[in-house]
Structure formats: structure tokens, C-alpha cells
Amino acid sequence: MPASLEIAEALLAACLHADHKPGKIQFTKYLYLLDYCHWHFTGSKATSLAWKFYHFGPWCEEAETCLATLSNRYAFGWREEEAVILRSVEVATPPVGLTTKSLIEKIVAQFKDRDFNVLLDVTYSQTEPMVKAQRGDLLDFSTVPVTRTMPEFFPEPVPTSATYQVHPERLQKMEAFRARAETLKEKAKQRMQFRESEDYQQALGMVAEELGTYGKLPEIKGEITLEAANGLGAE
């Protein structure tokens, strides 16, 4: 297995190759996630780093030493501006194995453009060793499921069809309204069929002959004077 320093060096090289210079805390979390993803994929860590729940997240003294060694070897500071380091620092990539190299590239690709707090949230709340540990504990990677796949930190939402259930009482009322509407519709249909029948038309003719010119009521019109209107309320 490659030494932890070699893996940290390969990780730094991948970051710079992706035009990304992480900060010290960010790089430490990348190393931890590499061990986490490697266990997910193979059932073992990529490094020999003994991670523990320190303050708020995963940390170990050996990782701190690796970062200091890389800083001295390539003459840069972890707090330096990203643009300065990208222009001046070139890191050789040591051989670390295909699986480790692939996982490094995927971790850098997933987090290099995301907000730093997203990285912290994933590290603290989406990895079993951190979730199940108490502050000061060594992190137990045996709690990580071995799936032979890269864990999905940002899974695509699965589309689900919205299901709406009507309350039984409202459903009963709706069914009653439907039945009533069908009944009225049928009655209206029967009424229209009757009005179009020959018997109905003959009856209309007989009524017209019977009423003659008296079939219509006279129109009644009238006027009221202003004096009469004013006197309506008088005793």
C-alpha cells in the first residue's frame, strides 16, 4: 500500500491539476473522505491515518505531518492565495493505484466548486464513522458499508408521482352529486324528447287556437306626479 504521504501528494496534484487549491482544513477533509470512499469501495482505507473525532471533525496528527511536509517540499503555504499557488507550484503524481487515483479525482470533482460548508456537512453528517462517534473517539470505519461503488453524496432526486387521496366523506358527497347530475341529465333528455314529439306539438297548436288574440296579457303602464309622490308618506 502506498504511504499516506504519497497519497496526500497525489491528492494535492489532482487538486492543482483541476485548478483548485484547497485550504488546510479542506484538504484534511478530502483525505478523510478518500479513506471513507475507499472503504466503501474495497472494505479498507486508502491510507494508514488514524482518524479521530477532534473538536468538530476528523483529524489526526499524521495527517497534519503530511500537510506540513508537502508545504515544505513544494515551498508554499496553505493560507496563500489560490492563484499564486496555481501559477508557481507543480506537484508530481506518485503511483497510488487505479482505485485510489479514480476516487481522488471523483472527490475533487464533486467538492472543488462547492461551498466549504457543504464539504463540512457531508463529512460530519453523511459518513458513518463521524455520525456514530463521540468527540475524542477514534473513528471506526468498520461501520461503513462495503458497496463496491463510490458513495453518492449528492444523489439525483427520484421523481415520484404525486398521489392525492380524497377524504371518504368528501368522496361520498362527490359520488352523490355525480349520481344526482346523471339523474337530472336523464330527465332533461327525456323532457327534450317529449317537446320534440308530435303530441306535444299538437297540444301547443290547440292552446294557441284556444287563446287566440287573448293569449297575451295587456301591458300596463302608469305615471305618478311629484306631488303624489311627496304625499305618499302623509297621514
Tell me the domain boundaries of the chain.
4-143, 165-212
| Average model confidence (pLDDT) across the chain | 84
Helix (H) or strand (E) holding 59: strand 57-59
Burial class (CB in 10 A: 0-12, 13-18, 19+), 25: middle
DSSP designation for 138? B
How many CB atoms are located within 10 Å of the residue 150 CB?
15
Residue 65 has a pLDDT of 97
CB 65 within 8 A of CB 24: no
Phi, psi of 57, deg, nearest 5? -150, -170
pLDDT digits (tens, 9 = 90+) for 135-159: 999 999 999 999 999 998 987 665 5
Sign of CA dihedral 50, 54, 57, 61: negative
CB 116 within 8 A of CB 26: yes
What does the CA dihedral 26, 32, 35, 38 come to, rounded to 10 degrees? -50
CB 119 within 8 A of CB 26: yes
Residue 92 has a pLDDT of 85
Quick one: cell of 57?
Answer: 471533525
pLDDT digits (tens, 9 = 90+) for 26-42: 999 999 999 999 999 99
pLDDT digits (tens, 9 = 90+) for 97-118: 999 999 999 999 999 999 999 9
The alpha-helical segments, DSSP class H, found in 43-159 are 61-73, 82-88, 98-111, 116-125, 128-131
Close Cβ partners of 50 (under 8 Å, ≥ 6 residues apart) = 60, 62, 138
List the Cα angle 63/57/29 in 5-degree steps: 50
Residue 180 has a pLDDT of 81
Residues (pLDDT < 70) of the chain are 1, 156-167, 169-170, 207, 210-235
